[in-house]
Structure 1
Amino acid sequence: MPFRTSGLHHVTAIAGDPRRNADFYLRTLGLRLVKTTVNFDDPGTYHLYYGDESGAPGTLLTFFPWRDAPRGRVGTGQATMTSFSVPEHSLGWWKRHLEDMGVSTGRVVNRDDEDVLLFRDPDGLQLALVAHPRGDPRNPWDTPSVPAEHAIRGLHSVTLSVNREDATAGMLTEGLGLEFAREEHNRFRFIAGEGGPGATVDVLVTPDAPRGLVAAGTVHHVAWRAPDEKTQTAWREELMERGVGVTSIMDRQYFRSIYFREPGGTLLEIATDRPGFTVDEPLLELGRALKLPPWLEPDRQRIEAMLPELDLPSENNPVSA
């Protein structure tokens, strides 16, 4: 297997009301809205990208928020947990903060020598904060609501739920270049490189669980990193030679993407690290204005009329703060 991902690129989920979604991820979790655009396949809805200051690969959770979207069903064939990395000893602060914001949390538990706090977003998406004992060197986005010493550093890991692990494990190791790290009961951990925050996926085997239904409150797909388009093109050819049904390379403006399903049913993506989110607006202004790809610009007036206005905190754009 000549191609090995260096870790997670982003996770994309489905939400309901976009204003409620933005309020939660900006004010409650303290992330930055780094791009306000639309679903290129359904431009009547937003595509909102949350991450660190620049939207670096590995920090991103993105949403398609449909106001009337039905509630999804968590189950096999999908990513059932998205975890963020926070500093060690921060979970007590986070538990108090979330509860002050009206978010119910579970108790802090220890798993694989990491402390974990579980909670859900307003649409029911299952989330976790993980304090990695060896730390996370990534710089956080500092906001008044979530100070830097406690702030989210980026994605920590995702959990894929499957009925059986063997074929999924084969795709992760042979298709993405991950390595099997360990097994604990019905949970199998795989890592990219040396593992750690942003480079981990857990496969949870639940043979009797129902099939998941992707709608509001569930993950749509999980994206893994490729350094550039040349690597992505060769990677796509190798996957096709292995008999994997892969899409053509798609232009997502801020990266290039290919999509395929792992045998357990979860939709996966390989996304390039470049060109990044400053390709169409300056760093300090990320997320402020609605950005459309060139092929949708002629319909801007109609698209803007369909989208509700978002209430962004001033600190999302330091220039205007």
Structure 2
Amino acid sequence: MSGIHHVTAIAGNALRNFDFYTRSLGLRFVKKTVNFDDPGTYHFYYGDETGHPGTILTFFPWEGAVAGRGGVGQTQQTAFRVPARSLGYWTHRFIEKGIAHEALEKRFGEAVLPFTDPDGMSLALVGVPGAENEAGWSNGDVPGEHAIRGFHGVTLLLENAAKTSSILTDVFGFKETVREGSIIRLTADNAAGGIVDIYEAKGFLPGRQGAGSVHHVAFRAVDDADQAEMSRKLVETHGQHPTEQKDRNYFRSVYFREPGGILLEIATDIPGFAVDEPVESLGEHLKLPAFLEPHRNDIEGVLPPLERAA
């Protein structure tokens, strides 16, 4: 299986982020942990019922984070899959909840509903015929038949597409399928998270990361051996400099910056999010890696409470 494993972004207020993604969008809160490199900051994971690769959107919520600025060298938009017949439901829901959104538009023959989260992150819902046959998580806020089915894909804003496209095809198994204006669509053989659109925008200002920005996009590796082979190709064929493997508890990661400057990751499908708590209670308790467990009291003392508003 190829495609996107997860997308990680930057948020401001933690409770506002938590409420928006669990209540307004109806995603499952799959994991409550911390940024392993900055343990005074949460790391939230949202996704489907079990946190399948291709459904996971994660956030580092930094209170008071300055807003990012869109531009070249950034992930411009993150798009989710929903059943095509559910776009009317979602349009009404956005209106009722005062969620900033744009009019329905067509891209590559698909109906797309662009919107933004409270931090200004650019998102979209893409109506996919047949998505109603895929499993949908419902916690009661969004009916199961209209639930988000995971990622559709991401749009990368780059000065030049050629070298990045070569990495996506040679290393990650994508294929260029169609072009529409300045946008190149690459597709992987995977239902969720199988699309990367590269918007080639010459002369645009470079982006600046901050609240509402994507921090990195992670692509799937089946296991350590698959990841090692991808890293080898990055070095030997594409002149990249991936990091050593880092253990993130729920997957193992290697990072590199693609030629346009966007941070990418290769994340293993294993061991998954049920490694430290059962599926039925995912996200209910703060989970820490072993090396941070001795500091639990201090960490819990600085993290803001996640008590939902009534």
TM-score, normalised to structure 1's length?
0.93
Shift of 1:205: 1.1
Q: Quick check: 2:153–2:194 contact (8 Å CA) kept in 1?
A: yes
Trace 1:196-215 onto structure 2 (pairs within 5 A): 197-215=192-210
Shift of 1:166: 1.4
Counterpart of 1:214 in structure 2: which amino acid? Answer: Q
Shift of 1:174: 2.0
Shift of 1:311: 2.5
Cα distance in structure 2, aligned partners of 1:95 and 1:56: 26
Cα distance in structure 2, aligned partners of 1:25 and 1:214: 21
Cα distance in structure 2, aligned partners of 1:173 and 1:238: 11
Trace 1:77-116 onto structure 2 (pairs within 5 A): 77-116=73-112
Q: Quick check: 1:114–1:133 contact (8 Å CA) kept in 2?
A: no
Counterpart of 2:273 in structure 1: which amino acid? Answer: F
Q: Percent identity?
A: 51
Change (3 A) 1:196 1:253: closer
Q: Quick check: 1:21–1:122 contact (8 Å CA) kept in 2?
A: yes
Q: Quick check: 1:85–1:136 contact (8 Å CA) kept in 2?
A: no
1:146 aligns with 2:142: yes
Cα distance in structure 2, aligned partners of 1:254 and 1:74: 30
In structure 1, the residue corresponding to 2:145 is in which secondary structure?
coil
Cα distance in structure 2, aligned partners of 1:311 and 1:239: 44
Which residue pairs with 2:233 in the alignment?
A: 238
Match of 1:186 among 178, 182, 194: 182
Q: Quick check: 2:83–2:130 contact (8 Å CA) kept in 1?
A: no
Trace 1:164-313 onto structure 2 (pairs within 5 A): 164-193=160-189, 197-242=192-237, 243-311=239-307
Cα distance in structure 2, aligned partners of 1:22 and 1:217: 14
Cα distance in structure 2, aligned partners of 1:137 and 1:281: 28
1:160 aligns with 2:156: yes
Change (3 A) 1:253 1:224: same
Shift of 1:208: 2.0
Match of 1:57 among 48, 53, 60: 53
Shift of 1:196: 5.1
Q: Which runs of 5+ in 2 are unaligned?
A: none
Q: Which runs of 5+ in 1 are unaligned?
A: 315-321
TM-score, normalised to structure 2's length?
0.96
Shift of 1:36: 0.2
Shift of 1:209: 1.4
Cα distance in structure 1, aligned partners of 2:192 and 2:31: 23
Which residue pairs with 1:129 in the alignment?
A: 125
Q: Quick check: 2:254–2:265 contact (8 Å CA) kept in 1?
A: yes
Cα distance in structure 2, aligned partners of 1:282 and 1:41: 25
RMSD of the TM alignment (CA)? 1.5
Change (3 A) 1:264 1:137: farther
Q: Quick check: 1:171–1:263 contact (8 Å CA) kept in 2?
A: no
Cα distance in structure 1, aligned partners of 2:156 and 2:37: 25
Q: Quick check: 1:84–1:152 contact (8 Å CA) kept in 2?
A: yes
Deviations 1:197-248 (A, max 9, x none): 4200000011121101111101000011111112112222232223211000
Q: Quick check: 1:113–1:133 contact (8 Å CA) kept in 2?
A: no
Which residue pairs with 1:319 in the alignment?
A: none
Q: Quick check: 2:136–2:149 contact (8 Å CA) kept in 1?
A: yes
Alignment coverage as a number of residue pairs: 309
